[in-house]
């Protein structure tokens, strides 16, 4: 499997930094960009052509659900996994409606992300996390 190119979109710079550091420990995963709003996510998705976008829900300018809907409407859209602070059934249903490929709570990010990536990209990434 070639590298999985990841775009991180979240309005919290500290979370972006922590997520990028975590992703750097996963073999064959490369962070290709970060954005602070749904609008930046839509723009960067078109420009960077990532394989996977990790998208926050609540953001300024455009929320993550609307950004996901717009990105998924494009041909050859990447996988998108919604990130949120709230494990709410309504958020999960809304994420599914806009075409998200996964849903992870930020509190479970470090535990749930690798299995989600392994499900989306086959063959799976080896379980030896640290490079």
- The pTM is what? 0.89
Give the residue among 24, 31, 27, 75 at the shortest CA–CA distance from 50: 31
On whether residue 129 sits in a domain, the answer given is: no
On whether residue 127 sits in a domain, the answer given is: no
Could you list the residue range(s) of the whole structural domain that residue 76 is in? 4-119
Residue in this structure with the two tokens 């599914």, named with its chain if needed? 96
pLDDT tens by residue, the chain, 131 residues: 458 999 999 999 999 999 999 999 888 899 999 999 999 999 999 999 999 999 999 998 899 999 999 999 999 999 999 999 888 888 899 999 999 999 999 999 989 998 998 889 875 455 544 44
Identify the burial level of 43 via C-beta atoms within 10 angstroms of its C-beta, where 0-12 means exposed, 13-18 middle and 19 or more buried.
Answer: middle
On whether residue 8 sits in a domain, the answer given is: yes
Number of domains in the chain: 1
- The dihedral region occupied by 120, where left means phi > 0, alpha psi between -120 and 50, and beta the remainder, is alpha
CATH (domain of 105): 3.40.50.2300
Pair 107, 100: CB distance under 8 Å: no
Structure tokens at 24: 């750097």
Helix/strand number for the chain, H first, E second = 5, 5
On whether residue 49 sits in a domain, the answer given is: yes
On whether residue 124 sits in a domain, the answer given is: no
On whether residue 80 sits in a domain, the answer given is: yes
Q: Element (H or E) spanning 28, and its range?
A: none
Q: Give the whole-angstrom CA distance, residue 24 versus residue 19.
A: 9
On whether residue 125 sits in a domain, the answer given is: no
């Amino acid at each position: 499997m070639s590298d999985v190119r990841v775009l991180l979109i979240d309005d919290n710079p500290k979370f972006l930094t922590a997520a990028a550091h975590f992703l750097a420990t996963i073999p064959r995963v490369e962070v290709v960009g970060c954005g602070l709003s749904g609008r930046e996510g839509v723009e960067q998705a078109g420009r960077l052509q990532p394989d996977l976008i990790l998208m926050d829900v609540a953001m300024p300018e455009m929320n993550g659900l609307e950004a996901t809907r717009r990105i998924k409407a494009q041909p050859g859209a990447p996988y998108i996994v919604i990130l949120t602070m709230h494990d709410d059934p309504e958020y999960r249903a809304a994420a599914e409606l806009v075409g998200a490929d996964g849903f992870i709570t930020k509190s479970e990010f470090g535990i749930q992300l690798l299995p989600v990536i392994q499900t989306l990209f086959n063959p799976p990434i080896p379980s030896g996390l640290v490079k």
